[in-house]
Amino acid sequence: MPDIKDVAKLANVSIATVSRAFNNKPDVSEKTKKKIFDIAKQIGYEPSIPARTLTKRKTNILGLIVPDISNPYYGEVVRGIEDTCHIYSYNVILCNADNRREKEFQYIDILKNRWVDGIIFHSDYFLKEHFEAFKSKNIPVVLAGRATELDTAYVAIDNFKAAYDAVNYLISLGHERIGIIHGPLDGMKETVDSVARLMGYRKALEEAGLNVYDELHMEADFKAKGAFLAAKKMLEGRIKPTAIFAISDMMAMGAINAIYDSGLRCPEDISVMGFDNIDLCEVTRPALTTIAQPMYEIGAIAARMLIKMIENRETGSIQPKKIILDHKLMIRDSCSRIKN
């Protein structure tokens, strides 16, 4: 591959001039600029980004840590991130960490050694350890899909409020025994989605003066199969729910399956409410009533925010921004009014 010297030699200029031309500096005459570009094109020269990285100490790469790209929710978020990066001339290094701390920290380390300009971090948890890791390595970070009390920028929704709204909708349909299928609670740390959503669920029930049954709380793993099992167990229990709130769409679909397998129907016998609003919601039968998270926007806004942080870094460190995006109740066919 040709390098800057080759171009300089053929164009009869110094490498500094070639560099200037390719960096669009004003102080190169149009004539030499043209000559340089012509020759570059001819021999197929384009500047090496790794070499540039070393002098500029900037990679124009964002690191992306997510639990699992094969999950449609993250696919959508990542799509928003990548599209935005492309607009701003950044590239994305993708890392799947499966919510495992060890893998997360390993990736943080690798990304840091790769000199990425910043990291978008998406995980079921954001702990003090994570915060310290980013801080000590002095690397800009934006949390996607998750809020935090810590001094870190994020783009998320209000999970408490979203769950509260979801359950209130079920209550408004006349439901009184409403089950919930949530994810791992990790010792009820408040930073965890599952916990915030569980709280919102309880608050709604309590405000309505309804019983909160422990038997109607089930934990699963955010996947359809796990929720299928959880829902089965719930349906076989002592207290029979008339509605189930699953805190992810995939889990809701698992729950619907369990209902059918138990010889019941959704929504005629049991209503099911999801969370996320992935593409599939409108495609399945019954179409899933759910809480919509703006996944693409979460990704896109997080990326833009991070890029702004990176590019304003010298301009004095600003307060990390904390953005809460609106969620939205999507009423479809999986929840119906209770029959008297």
Partner DNA sequence: TTGAAAGCGCTAACAA
Partner DNA sequence: TTGTTAGCGCTTTCAA
**Number of residues that this document lists for the chain:** 340
The CA–CA distances, whole Å, from 283 to 40, 76, 170, 277 equal 52, 17, 22, 11
Which partner in DNA, a second copy, none is near 32 (CB below 5 to 8 A by kind)? DNA
| Contact pick of 9, 39, 51, 76 for DNA (by CB under 7 A) | 51
Q: Is the peptide bond before 50 cis (omega within 30 degrees of 0)?
A: no
- 11 or 142: CB nearest DNA: 11
- Asked if 29 touches DNA (CB under 7 A), the answer is yes
Count of other CB atoms within 10 angstroms of residue 121: 27
Separation CA 262–CA 59 (nearest Å): 55
- 195 or 231: CB nearest a second copy: 231
Residue 219: helix, strand or coil by DSSP?
strand
- Asked if 129 touches a second copy (CB under 8 A), the answer is no
Give the HSE-up count for residue 292: Cα atoms under 13 Å, Cβ half-sphere.
Answer: 13
Site string for a second copy, 76-105 (x = CB under 8 A): x-xx--xx--x----xxxxxx---------
- Is residue 77 within 8 Å of residue 296, measured between CB atoms? yes
| Contact pick of 12, 34, 115, 337 for a second copy (by CB under 8 A) | 115
User: Cα 196 to the chain's mean position, in Å?
Assistant: 17
Q: How far is the CB of 326 from a second copy (least distance, A)?
A: 21
- 207 or 279: CB nearest a second copy: 279
In the structure encoding, which two tokens stand for residue 245, read together?
């709130």
- Asked if 109 touches a second copy (CB under 8 A), the answer is yes
Please, which residues bridge with residue 96 across strands? 66
**Number of helical H runs and strand E runs in the chain:** 12, 12
Separation CA 231–CA 158 (nearest Å): 26
| Contact pick of 48, 91, 211, 312 for DNA (by CB under 7 A) | 48
Q: What angle do CA 161, 167, 173 make, to 5 degrees?
A: 140
In the structure encoding, which two tokens stand for residue 262, read together?
């138990």
- Asked if 331 touches DNA (CB under 7 A), the answer is no
| Contact pick of 19, 59, 148, 336 for a second copy (by CB under 8 A) | 59
Count of other CB atoms within 10 angstroms of residue 209: 8
- Asked if 193 touches a second copy (CB under 8 A), the answer is no
Number of residues binding to DNA, judged by CB under 7 A: 30
- Asked if 326 touches a second copy (CB under 8 A), the answer is no
- Asked if 8 touches a second copy (CB under 8 A), the answer is no
Which partner in a second copy, DNA, none is near 70 (CB below 5 to 8 A by kind)? a second copy
- Asked if 262 touches a second copy (CB under 8 A), the answer is no
Residues binding a second copy (CB under 8 A): 1, 44, 46-51, 53-54, 59, 61, 64, 68-72, 74-76, 78-79, 82-83, 86, 91-96, 109-110, 112-115, 136, 138, 224, 250, 253-254, 256-257, 260, 279-280, 282-285, 296
